[in-house]
Chain A
Amino acid sequence: MEMSRRTAAPVKRRHLLQDNPSVLWFMGLLGLFTLGVTVLSEGFGIGLISTNLVKILGMTLCLCLIAIAMDVVWGYCGILSLGHFAFFGLGGYAIGMWLMYARTEIVIRESLAGSTIPPTEREVSEAVASQIFSVVGSNELPLIWSFAGSLPFQLAMVVLVPGLLALVFGWLAFRSRVTGVYLSILTQAMTLALSLYLFQNDTGLRGNNGLSGLQNIPGALHVPQSVISVWFFWASAFALGAGYLLFAWVVSGKFGSVIRAIRDNEARVRFLGYNVEGYKLFVFTLTAVISGIAGALYYPQAGIINPAEIAPIASIYLAVWVAIGGRGRLYGAVIGAALVSLLSSWLTGGGAPNIDLGFYRIIWTDWWLVMLGLGFVLVTLFFPKGIGGLFDYLVRKQ
C-alpha cells in the first residue's frame, strides 16, 4: 500500500519517512503521549495519573513493542509463531536476575556493614544466595547466576539468550522446512518446554516463585516509585519508537518485499534465488531479540516474573492482539496490543462498573474473557484485516 504511492519516475534515494508517512504519524503521537503522561504523572508532573497507571501504560508500551515484533514475523513473514512470549520472558528473567541479585547484595552489605570485621566476598555471595534461594530450599548460587551481579553481562544476556534460542530453534525448524500450523505447534512446544523447565525448583530460577521485587532498582533504591515509573515509561516509549523505526525500515524496502513474498509463496521466492530459510531465520531471530528487550523493560515495571508468564497461552494472546489490530501493518499491532491489554486490565482489574440487568448481574471479571474470545472469533470471521483494515478503508475513501 505504501508501495503504491511510489511514482514511475526514476527512483531516487528516498527517506524512509517520506515513503511511510504512517511512521511519522506514529512517532509524533508517541512523543505527544509520552509528554502527556510525564506532565500528568506524580513523579514529574501534576499527579493526575497515579504511579500505578504510569506503570500500566509503560508496560502496555512494552507489549506494543513485542506486538510489532510479532507482526513482522507473522503479518509480514507469515510465520505464526506461538512462542514469542518465551523470548519476552527470557529477556525479563535476564534483567530480573541482575535486579534481584544486585538489590539483595546491597541489602546484605548494608546489614553486614555494622559487624566488627568486614564480610568476605564469599560470605556476601553466600548470604545473597541463601536470601534468594531459601524459598526453593537451597542456599547455593546456581551456575547461571555467576555473573548476575554484573549489569553489562545481564544486559548482554537480555539480547543474547532470546537471540541464541531463536537462532538455534529457528535453524532447526526452518532447515527441515517445517511450515504452517506445524511450525506454530512446534513454537508452542518450545515455549511449553521452557515454562515447564522454569517451573522446576532446581533449575536455578526459583521455580514457580519466579523473580520478585524487580521494581526496586539497585543504585536507585531510595528513589520513589513515582519517579522510577516515569523513567521506565520513558525507556519503554523510546524502545517502542526505536523498534517501530527499525521494523518500518526492515519491512519497507526490498527486504520487506522479499519477506512478504515468502509469506505469500515461499517456493516461488526460492526459485528467484533467495535463501528463504536464511530470511526466515533472520526475521525470527531479530524479532526474538526485540521481544527480549521488550520483556526486559516490562518486568521491572510489573515487579515480578514467573514461569506462568511464558505459558503457551501468553503467546497466543499475542497473536490475538496482532490479529485484532490488523496484521501486516505495524500500527495495527500497536493498536491491537494497546486496546486489548488496556481493556483487559481495566475490566479484570475491577475498574469497570458491573452492570445489573435485574435478572442477572454482569461481572466483568467473569465475562471479559468470554467477550474477548467470541469477539476475536467475529474479528477473524468478518474483519480478517482487523482494526487496521478500517484505516485502509478510510484512506481509500478519501
Chain B
Amino acid sequence: MTTLLEVSGVSVTFDGFRAINNLSIAIGEPELRAVIGPNGAGKTTFMDIVTGKTRPDEGRVIWGAQSVDLLKLSESDIAKIGIGRKFQKPTVFEEQSVRDNLAMALKNRRGPLSVLMWHATERDAARILELAAEIGLSDRLAHRAGDLSHGQKQWLEIGMLLAQDPRLLLVDEPAAGMTPAERAHTTDLLKRAARTRAVMVIEHDMEFIRRLECRVTVLHEGSVLAEGSLDHVTKNQQVIDVYLGR
C-alpha cells in the first residue's frame, strides 16, 4: 500500500473562524477510510480543500507518486487526475436520464470538441450496463434521474463516481436517508470499490462505519484527534469526551 494523498499542515479560516487547523492526514491505495467527527469538525471543508473548491491559507496537499501539488489545480483538473467526490446532498442531474448521467461521468476525454464528436462505443455501452447492474439501476437506465428515490439517487451518484474510475473516492454521508437494506447494499458497494482504490467515507452513523470494517480518523475542531480501528478510537477518552459524549 503506497501513500496516494497526503495532506499536511493545512489551515483555513472563514471570517476569523478557523474551520481547519493544521490538519495532516494521509490515505494509501488501496484503502478504505472512515472519517468521523462532530458537526463543525471540518469534515466537509476538508473535502472542499482536496477537491479544489476551497483554497487553504497554508499547508500542502500532495497527490500520488509524482507528488502533484493539488493546490495548483482547478476543480476539473483535480477530478481528471483521479479524485471523485460524492456530495452530502445527492446531486445528480435530475432532468437527464440515468444513462446520460452515467455517460457523462464515464472516463473519456473531457474537452468540448472531443465530447461533441463522442459516440458511445461498445465498450462504453457495456461499462454503463455494468455500472447500472452494480448500483442496482439496470431497469432504470432510461428514466429521468429526478424520478428516482432518494436512495437510488445516492447510488446513482456513487455509480457516477465509479464511472469516473477515480483512484480516490471522497464520499460524504452516503447512507443518509437510506433504509437498512439500502445501507447494506451501499456498504457492499464501498467495500468492493476499496479493493482497487482509495475510498474515504464521511459518516455519522456508527453502525454503518462498523460494517465498513476499516481504519477510522476522528476530526475535531479542524484537526485529527485520533486515528485507528473503530474499537481503538471509541476507547480513546478524548474522543469519548468531544464526540461520543455529546
A and B touch in the complex (CB under 8 A): yes
Given contacts A6-B142, A257-B104, contact A270 B87 (CB under 8 A): no
**For residue A351, which residues in chain B have a CB less than 8 angstroms away from its CB?**
none
- A10 on the B face (CB < 8 A): yes
Q: Are A275 and B111 in contact (CB under 8 A)?
A: yes
Bound complex: CA A258 to CA B113 (Å)? 12
Interface size class of B (residues with CB under 8 A): 35 or more
- Contact B111 A6, beta carbon cutoff 8 Å: no
**B93-152: which residues lie under 8 A (CB-CB) from chain A?**
93-97, 99-100, 103-105, 110-113, 115-116, 118-120, 122, 124-126, 129, 138-139, 141-144
Could you tell me the distance between the alpha carbons of A242 and B116 in the complex, rounded to whole angstroms?
A: 17
With A254-B115, A258-B115 given, is the CB distance from A273 to B76 under 8 Å?
A: yes
| Given A10-B125, A275-B74, A276-B76, also A264-B115 (CB < 8 A) | no
User: With A260-B95, A275-B110 in contact, is A3–B100 under 8 Å at CB?
Assistant: yes
User: Interface readout for A6-26 with B: 1 if CB under 8 Å, 0 if not?
Assistant: 111011010000000000000
A156 to B94, CA, bound (A): 41
Chain B: CB-nearest residue to A257: B100
Q: Let me know if A238 is at the binding interface, CB within 8 A.
A: no
Q: Are A272 and B95 in contact (CB under 8 A)?
A: no
State which size class the interface on A falls in: 20 to 34
Residue contact A271 to B79, C-beta cutoff 8 Å: yes
Give Cα A3–Cα B105 distance, bound, in whole angstroms: 17
The answer on a CB contact under 8 Å between B116 and A250 is yes
Q: A236-276 CB contact bits vs B (8 Å, 1 = yes)?
A: 00000000000000100111011011001101111111111
Contact status B94-A264, CB under 8 Å: yes
Output the nearest chain B residue to A275 by Cβ-Cβ distance.
B76
B106 → chain A closest CB, angstroms: 9
Instruction: Output the least CB separation between A280 and chain B (Å).
Output: 9
**Highest count of chain B CB atoms <10 Å: which of A10, A13, A258, A265:** A258
Cβ of B144 and Cβ of A4 under 8 Å apart? Answer: yes
Pair A8/B141 contact, Cβ less than 8 Å: yes
Look across to chain B and name the residue whose beta carbon is closest to the beta carbon of A262: B93
Asked whether B122 lies within 8 Å of A10 as measured between CB atoms, the reply is yes
| A binding-site residues for B, Cβ under 8 Å | 3-4, 6-8, 10-11, 13, 250, 253-255, 257-258, 260-261, 264-265, 267-276, 278-279, 282
Q: A264-B94, A273-B110 given; name 17 further pairs at CB < 8 Å.
A: A3-B142, A6-B97, A8-B99, A8-B142, A11-B120, A11-B125, A254-B118, A255-B112, A261-B93, A264-B93, A267-B75, A268-B93, A271-B85, A272-B79, A272-B164, A273-B76, A273-B164
